[in-house]
């Protein structure tokens, strides 16, 4: 039987199905590969690799997932730390995962090749999971363990179909199962699926339900023992002193009331089984004719058409035996898919983590996407039956999912550009920092990286030769870290002690520099004098309370600009407005008003102007301090007519000028009059 499946059926499909999978992987995830980078935990992992070496991952993961460390150590030693390389690795792993699933399912249901193609193609582009491009992290943390577990399912099916190699294949399946389960807890619940796969295989030769159940349990018993061993080990490790991550709250912190469980079931099935697919229509929520939307439409039409044509042709040439028992299979697939959805949800639910279709919670959909794909194909088989309607609906769904994933990849591309813009502006504004500097901000307009992750490239830039485990620099979001162990308060001299895996940062709030960046504006250094609370009207009180801590003396203003690794940060951008603004802010820090005014004139020659009104403030002060009050007042008028909320900041600025300038021609009453004419009330 095993030989027949491989030599006959799979041989016929050996080019077409891999070709379709590869097509979807490239269209959904690969079109923007050259313009993608590192995201989320990719940054600290790449930093560990560059400065501490691959072996550091073993110790770095010991308190979290001790069997993941060796995986990271091996793959990073093989592939290095280039973000482009890791994007390619991610594409390859995603391709092989779908190909492997196809082989495994064909061994379980050899007569259902058409339906299984649908499952695999939907699995390939499942829109609930939107983190394919966090490749260095997720290839190692989840995709490789999932490869092992899916391979284990396939080898189990092969063992049950082989009389000659049954024992050796079973042993191999057990090894793969252990590799998939012990390396990460993500797929712990998916082991339940194996029992139902075995039941399907056993039911081919037995009819009595009692006999089927008894034999299925007998075949599953070795896997069940490994599963229980994994459960016992996970429980023991998570309750040991060595563990330092999410708490497993099952049967303690979670509500196990019938109402709570029913709500969880409804939420999980609606999000993963229906809403995730319906969300793909969001690519048409705004018809704006942008290049991204045009490409998304082309991807949709091309992928859906290719799938439709192939599946239509495949159905015409299919043997009659290929469609026998489709209703029975539809029931099996819908039921097993339903169970697998909740089995995949089990680990994140036990950890008390919510299931959401948003970054970064959608990573939990990775363990659900097999069940969701089987569930939707099972329902389609039962409701639409076989024929053009089913082919059309599923082809469109695959096309929409492929286009949707492409549109998500474009948000990652934009975020890479935003990361680079922020880091280059940081380097322009702060050529060097005193060791122990804490960068505080409310939050940065970066979607796929947070404070502790962006700390890695900041240290990469400002300390490119670090050799020990003491981090010189740290970025913290006041929004999420205040009143926590990382940032106990915003009082001066409050110690800040942060242990991040195997490295440590130690300093205090008195060594802070408070920064702010609007999504549409340039990076700003806030301080109690030049950029106080009046310059950020409407800002969160968390940010405003941090400004008095800001100490610009932590910035070494006379240092040369740091050398940036082009592989990670790209070439230095063209000198846009933000370049001139950052350099002007740096000159203002040194009280070099002539240089500030000169930079504004240079920007004007290039037809560059402020991206936000507040960015005019240093230039207003520079022109006033260098004997050019008329230019300063015109710029004041221009600023206030655009944003009247800056009136208090402008009054404070001109008061400071009048107190410090030696220009006797400055007339306070005339200045007040001009400011009032711009719309400000004294």
Other Cβ atoms within 10 Å of 109 Cβ, number: 20
Cα separation of 636 and 645, whole Å? 13
pLDDT-based confidence at 360, cuts 50/70/90?
A: confident
**172, two tokens:** 């191999």
User: What's the pLDDT score for residue 314?
Assistant: 78
With beta carbons less than 8 A apart as the criterion, state whether 603 and 582 touch.
no
Q: Burial code of 402-439, b = ≥16 C-beta within 10 A, e = fewer?
A: bbbbbbbbbebbebbebbbbbbbbbbbbbbbbbebbbb
With beta carbons less than 8 A apart as the criterion, state whether 173 and 201 touch.
no
Q: What average pLDDT does range 198-216 have in this prediction?
A: 90
Q: Which residues pair with 513 in a beta bridge?
A: 439
- 222-271 pLDDT per residue, tens: 999 999 999 999 888 877 766 666 555 544 455 667 787 888 888 889 99
What is the helix (H) or strand (E) element at residue 97, kind and residue range? helix 83-108
- 407-456 pLDDT per residue, tens: 999 999 999 999 999 999 999 999 999 999 999 999 999 999 999 999 99
Give the best-scoring range by mean pLDDT among 159-168, 315-324, 564-573. 564-573
With beta carbons less than 8 A apart as the criterion, state whether 639 and 649 touch.
no
With beta carbons less than 8 A apart as the criterion, state whether 577 and 616 touch.
no
User: What's the pLDDT score for residue 250?
Assistant: 47
Using a 10 angstrom Cβ sphere, with 0-12 exposed, 13-18 middle and 19 or more buried, the burial of residue 217 is middle
User: What's the pLDDT score for residue 349?
Assistant: 87
Q: What average pLDDT does range 380-391 have in this prediction?
A: 89
Structural domains present in the chain:
2-412 (no CATH), 430-573 (no CATH), 575-682 (1.25.40)
Q: What average pLDDT does range 577-603 have in this prediction?
A: 96
């Amino acid at each position: 039987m095993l030989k027949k499946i491989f030599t006959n059926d799979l041989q016929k499909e050996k080019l077409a199905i891999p070709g379709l999978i590869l097509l979807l992987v490239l269209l959904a995830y690969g079109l923007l590969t050259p313009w993608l980078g590192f995201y989320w935990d990719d940054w600290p992992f790449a930093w560990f690799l560059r400065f501490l070496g691959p072996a550091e991952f073993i110790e770095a993961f010991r308190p979290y997932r001790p069997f993941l460390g060796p995986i990271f150590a091996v793959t990073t030693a093989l592939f290095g730390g280039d973000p482009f390389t890791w994007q390619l690795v991610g594409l390859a792993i995603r391709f092989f995962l779908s190909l492997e699933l196809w082989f495994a399912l064909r061994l379980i249901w050899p007569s259902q090749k058409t339906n299984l193609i649908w499952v695999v193609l939907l699995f390939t582009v499942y829109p609930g999971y939107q983190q394919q491009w966090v490749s260095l992290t997720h290839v190692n943390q989840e995709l490789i363990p999932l490869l092992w577990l899916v391979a284990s399912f396939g080898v189990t099916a092969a063992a049950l179909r082989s009389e000659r190699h049954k024992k050796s294949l079973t042993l191999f399946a057990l090894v793969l199962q252990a590799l998939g389960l012990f390396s990460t807890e993500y797929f712990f619940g998916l082991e339940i699926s194996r029992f139902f796969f075995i039941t399907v295989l056993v039911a081919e030769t037995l009819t009595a339900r009692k006999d089927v159940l008894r034999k299925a349990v007998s075949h599953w018993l070795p896997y069940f023992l490994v599963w229980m061993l994994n459960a016992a080990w996970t429980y023991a490790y998570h309750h040991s002193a060595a563990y330092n991550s999410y708490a497993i709250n099952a049967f303690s912190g979670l509500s196990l009331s019938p109402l709570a469980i029913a709500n969880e079931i409804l939420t999980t099935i609606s999000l993963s089984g229906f809403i995730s697919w319906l969300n793909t229509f969001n690519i048409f929520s705004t018809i704006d004719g942008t290049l991204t939307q045009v490409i998304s439409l082309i991807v949709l039409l091309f992928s859906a058409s290719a799938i439709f044509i192939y599946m239509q042709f495949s159905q015409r040439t299919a043997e009659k035996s290929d469609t026998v028992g489709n209703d029975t299979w539809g029931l099996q697939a819908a039921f097993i898919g339903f169970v697998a959805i909740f089995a995949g949800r089990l680990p994140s639910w036990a950890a008390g983590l919510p299931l959401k279709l948003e970054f970064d919670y959608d990573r939990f959909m990775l363990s659900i996407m097999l069940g969701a794909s089987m569930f939707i194909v099972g329902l389609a088989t039962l409701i639409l039956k076989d024929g053009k309607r089913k082919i059309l609906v599923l082809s469109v769904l695959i096309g929409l999912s492929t286009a949707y994933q492409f549109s998500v990849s474009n948000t990652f591309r934009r975020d890479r550009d935003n990361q680079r813009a922020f880091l280059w502006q940081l380097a322009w504004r702060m050529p060097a920092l005193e060791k122990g500097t804490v960068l505080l901000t409310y939050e940065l307009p970066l979607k796929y990286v947070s404070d502790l992750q962006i700390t890695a490239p900041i240290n990469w830039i400002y300390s490119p030769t670090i050799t020990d485990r003491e981090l010189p620099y740290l970025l913290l979001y006041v929004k999420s870290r205040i009143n926590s162990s990382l940032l106990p308060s915003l009082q001066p001299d409050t110690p800040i002690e942060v242990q991040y895996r195997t490295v440590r940062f130690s300093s205090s709030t008195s060594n802070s520099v408070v920064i702010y960046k609007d999504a549409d504006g340039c990076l700003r250094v806030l301080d109690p004098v030049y950029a106080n609370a009046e310059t950020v009207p409407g800002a969160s009180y968390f940010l405003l309370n941090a400004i008095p801590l800001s100490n610009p003396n932590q910035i070494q203003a006379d240092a040369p600009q740091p050398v940036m690794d082009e592989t990670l940060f790209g070439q230095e951008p063209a000198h846009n407005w933000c370049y001139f603004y950052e350099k002007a802010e740096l000159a203002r820090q040194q009280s070099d008003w002539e240089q500030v005014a000169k930079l504004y004139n240079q920007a004007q020659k290039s037809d560059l102007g402020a991206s936000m009104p507040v960015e005019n403030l240093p230039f207003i002060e520079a022109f006033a301090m260098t004997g050019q009050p008329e230019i300063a007042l015109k710029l004041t008028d221009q600023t206030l007519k655009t944003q009247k909320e800056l009136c208090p900041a402008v009054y404070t600025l001109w008061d400071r000028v009048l107190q410090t300038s030696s220009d006797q021609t400055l007339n306070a009453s005339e200045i007040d009059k001009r400011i009032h004419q711009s719309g400000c009330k004294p």
